[in-house]
Amino acid sequence: MKKLFPIVLTSVLLVSVFLPNAYGQTEVEQLLTGNVNDASALAKAYLDPLAESFGTSLNNGWYNSAKPHKLVGFDITFTIPVTLTPSSTRKFDVSKMNLEYWELKDNSQYMSPTVTGEKSGGISLVDKATGSNELQLPQGANLQFVPAPIVQVGVGLPFHTEIIGRFFPKVEVSDIGNFSMWGIGIKNEFKEFIPVFKALPFSMSVLLGYSNFSSSFDINSSQHKELTFKANGFTGKLLISKSIPVLTVYAGVGFNKSKTNVDVKGTYDFSGVSVTDPISLEFKNNGVNANIGLRIKLAVLAFHFDYAFGKYSVANAGVGINFR
């Protein structure tokens, strides 16, 4: 079992996180032609919902109770925050992009799928100068949800405080690339220090958490061409929870802030001009987030599920070993 767990976890991460991002890398490669500015604009529109969804997933799954562990109490929890991509993000309007090199081949066909859109062919563009060069925009991957599987450990400290750590070592996937993740969080039940609040019949805490994900995908390893995908998220929340034997109901409200950077590395040809590291994209997603959930604790095992409301909704489920 000690050997099986990391193998299973790596497989889950590979299938749910790494391969969808690798798919996006393959499709972005189609856009590396014509004009650098157009390639950047089209790549940004195509990848936007994946980048924002993944950043949102990183900011979830931090807790399943507002009450911190007692001193030296701990939990080891496997959780999967799954961000649901809105239908409004599955297409983008090329006619509003003011492209420099390309124009629509057919003015009646101007909506093209994003990476989360349907697996149907993207629309066609032609160069403005001669109309002889044609670019077929990539199809979608039908990503209706974007997960971010996470393993984390929480340890109880003095003064009603708990520290939370997330970590996954760098994993190399042959002929594809690598990925790694880490994060740090802290939870404190501040109400225990305020006489009026201390008497309340439920737990109330504040949570701060930061997560970082980094990966790179080989476009052409022999020519040192790659796509890097880096995401980080910060969240701050006010938490409440109420426990009765076996069952805990919990809720939280606060803010999320995430940033995702996608960079294309290497030297590429754009209409006879060689350009090094042509694309560098930044995606930001900030906003208020609220969630509600429940945890069922059977001896040392704890199962939890919650749902978060915000610009991107998130369903989160997990299981862990919980002590004190």
Q: What single-letter DSSP state applies at residue 68?
A: P
In this predicted structure, the answer to whether residue 16 has a pLDDT above a threshold of 50 is no
Burial 207-216 (b: 16+ CB within 10 A, else e): bbbbbbbbbb
How many other C-beta atoms lie within 10 A of the C-beta of residue 203? 20
CB 251 within 8 A of CB 292: yes
In this predicted structure, the answer to whether residue 96 has a pLDDT above a threshold of 90 is yes
Nearest residue to 135 via CA among 26, 48, 42: 42
- pLDDT bin (cut points 50, 70, 90) of residue 7 is very low
pLDDT number for residue 148? 78
- pLDDT bin (cut points 50, 70, 90) of residue 15 is very low
Q: Which of 27-31, 122-126, 189-193, 205-209 has the lowest mean pLDDT?
A: 27-31
pLDDT number for residue 27? 65
Name the token pair of 155: 């340890």
Domains of the chain: 4-323 (2.40.128)
CB 46 within 8 A of CB 114: yes
pLDDT number for residue 295? 95
pLDDT number for residue 272? 84
Angle, helix 36-58 to helix 19-29, in steps of 10 degrees: 170
| Rounded distance between C-alpha atoms, residue 189 and residue 300, angstroms | 22
Our measurement of the distance from residue 78's CA atom to the centroid of its chain's CA atoms, rounded to an integer in Å, reads 16
The H or E element containing residue 81 is strand 74-84
Instruction: Compute the mean pLDDT over every residue in the chain, rounded to the nearest whole number.
Output: 85
Residues 297-309: what's their mean pLDDT? 92
Nearest 5°: the CA angle 155, 289, 116 is 105
Of the ranges 11-15, 191-195, 253-257, the best mean pLDDT one:
253-257
Q: Work out the end-to-end distance of the chain between its first and last CA atoms, rounded to an integer number of angstroms.
A: 24
The H or E element containing residue 42 is helix 36-58
Nearest 5°: the CA angle 236, 239, 242 is 165
- Please write the tens of the pLDDT for every residue from 231-247: 999 999 999 999 988 99
Please report, rounded to a whole number, the percentage of residues in the chain having pLDDT higher than 70: 89
Of the ranges 33-47, 107-121, 143-157, the best mean pLDDT one:
33-47
- pLDDT bin (cut points 50, 70, 90) of residue 25 is low
Residues 6 or more apart whose CB falls under 8 angstroms from that of 119 comprise: 139, 140, 141, 142
